[in-house]
């Protein structure tokens, strides 16, 4: 996203009717994750093995923001599963075994735990395997975080886009915007609230200015503009989001009142 885009978001967050609760905290406490739909498309009556298979799938997702539905569709060659987010197709699976790890993975568990522990946000750096590109972006991120008064309450994680254990998570990240899968550049995603992900900074857009603008968004007072038109999309995750640790940003702002008037 261009820096001008971030500036628009920040200005919106500071419009009148803002409350003193910061964006990151308000979203965690008050904005439930959007639900995905996993549909099983079939041509007719389901055989008993498939019925049992789908019951097992449905039984494994009660804590995830995911609905499961069986859909009769006669104009298909063979049955398949399809994952949707707000009517947008994210992935198709021809075999139920491909659904393993769909709603949970080690990286998602780590990120959810950090958010529940009161961190301002998690910055996820999605790497490409090109060491020169990846190292250049990481240097900018680390330098910016080390200079930020909020650096200690921001968790930075790195994810290889080709990690087989995180294939579902990486696919969801690359669906935050429709054209991301065609771009072979490192990307920096801001994750906050109940696992909501902003549109990424990528390539030369991973700059100190843009990262600071992202942090400004998370530390801004929440407003009706933000509440009514929350940016980003939700990720699939198994988490109840109950009883989070109080946001650590409040302590930093209390101890540094000058940060409230930047």
pLDDT along the chain (262 residues), means of 10: 46 48 90 96 93 92 93 93 96 95 96 97 96 95 96 97 95 95 95 96 96 93 68 94 92 78 50
Residue 13 class from Cβ within 10 Å (0-12 exposed, 13-18 middle, 19+ buried)? buried
Task: Give residue 77's pLDDT.
Answer: 92
Do 76 and 24 reside in the same domain of the chain? no
Closest alpha carbon to 64 in 105, 10, 94, 20? 105
Do 150 and 182 reside in the same domain of the chain? yes
Instruction: Please tell me the distance from the alpha carbon of residue 81 to that of residue 38, in angstroms, as a whole number.
Output: 7
Task: Please say whether the beta carbons of 126 and 134 come within 8 A.
Answer: no
Do 156 and 209 reside in the same domain of the chain? yes
Do 43 and 165 reside in the same domain of the chain? no
Do 75 and 116 reside in the same domain of the chain? no
Do 20 and 138 reside in the same domain of the chain? yes
Task: Give residue 13's pLDDT.
Answer: 45
CATH of residue 225: 3.40.30.10
DSSP-assigned letter for residue 103: S
Do 93 and 25 reside in the same domain of the chain? no
Of 45, 79, 99, which marks where a domain is finished? 99
Domain containing 88: what range?
36-99
pTM for this entry: 0.89
Looking at 120-236, list the stretches that DSSP marks H as alpha helix, in order from N- to C-terminal side: 131-147, 167-173, 208-219, 224-228
Task: Please say whether the beta carbons of 191 and 121 come within 8 A.
Answer: yes
Do 131 and 203 reside in the same domain of the chain? yes
Of 99, 121, 143, which marks where a domain is finished? 99
Do 20 and 48 reside in the same domain of the chain? no
Do 118 and 207 reside in the same domain of the chain? yes
Of 74, 99, 124, which marks where a domain is finished? 99
Do 13 and 40 reside in the same domain of the chain? no
Do 27 and 42 reside in the same domain of the chain? no
Task: Give residue 260's pLDDT.
Answer: 63
């Amino acid at each position: 996203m261009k820096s001008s885009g971030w500036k628009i978001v920040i200005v919106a967050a500071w419009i009148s009717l803002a409350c003193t609760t910061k964006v990151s905290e308000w979203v965690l406490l008050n904005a439930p994750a959007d639900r995905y739909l996993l549909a099983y498309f079939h041509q007719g009556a389901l055989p008993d093995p498939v019925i049992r298979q789908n019951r097992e799938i449905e039984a494994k997702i009660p804590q995830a923001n995911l609905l499961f539905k069986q859909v009769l569709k006669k104009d298909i060659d063979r049955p398949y599963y399809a994952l949707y987010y707000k009517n947008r197709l994210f992935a198709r699976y021809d075999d139920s075994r491909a659904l393993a790890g769909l709603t949970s993975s080690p990286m998602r568990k780590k990120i959810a735990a950090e958010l529940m522990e009161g961190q301002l946000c998690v910055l996820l750096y999605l790497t490409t395997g090109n060491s020169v590109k990846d190292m250049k972006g990481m240097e900018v991120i680390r330098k910016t975080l080390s200079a930020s008064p909020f650096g200690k309450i921001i968790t930075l994680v790195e994810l290889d886009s080709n990690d087989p254990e995180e294939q579902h998570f990486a696919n969801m990240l690359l669906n935050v915007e429709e054209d991301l899968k065609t771009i072979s550049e490192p990307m920096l995603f801001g994750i906050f609230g109940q696992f909501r992900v902003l549109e990424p900074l990528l390539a030369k857009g991973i700059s100190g200015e843009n990262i600071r603008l992202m942090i400004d968004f998370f530390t801004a007072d929440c407003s009706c503009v933000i509440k009514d038109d929350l940016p980003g999309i939700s990720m699939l995750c198994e988490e109840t989001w109950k009883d989070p640790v109080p946001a650590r940003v409040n302590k930093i702002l209390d101890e540094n009142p000058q940060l409230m008037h930047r």
